[in-house]
Amino acid sequence: MEAGGNVERLSATPAGIALGPLDQIADGAARSFVIEMRAGRFHGFAVRRGDQVFGYVDRCPHMSLPLAQKLDDYVAADRIACSWHGALFDIESGACLGGPCPGTALTPWPLRVEAGAIITA
């Protein structure tokens, strides 16, 4: 833990954590996940496209803020959008497509779909 009792914010999770069924996320939408671990807390989100999910650490490379100001509000016009300063990111690669972070990308959070469930990879 950090000084003052703040919980350390982690940037990765171990493989094999079941996050729930794929159908908890509507196709084309996203969902945030917070995972408590001994070392701290991980904040990430998953975007669903058909039978695939694309996971990212919930941190904009522009100012290190979480992307969504409203719960699960990550996708706009088929792009991941940062609600703070308007950065746009490709869903499949996390690459910045516009806004104040050219040449950067979101940090991937490896996820897979197995037997209809989302699992950390």
Residue pair 108/58 in contact (Cβ under 8 Å)? The answer is no
Whether the pLDDT of residue 2 is over 80: the answer is: no
CA 112, 113, 118, 119 torsion-angle sign: negative
pLDDT, tens only, 70-109: 999 999 989 999 999 999 999 999 999 999 999 999 999 9
The count of other CB atoms within 10 Å of the CB of residue 103 is 7
pLDDT band at 21 (very low <50, low <70, confident <90, very high): very high
Among candidate residues 69, 76, 80, 70, the one with its CA nearest the CA of residue 104 = 80
Return the DSSP state at 69: S
How high does pLDDT run on average in the chain? 94
Instruction: Report the side by side order of strands in the sheet with 88-89.
Output: 75-76, 79-81, 88-89, 96-98
Model-wide pTM > 0.75:
yes
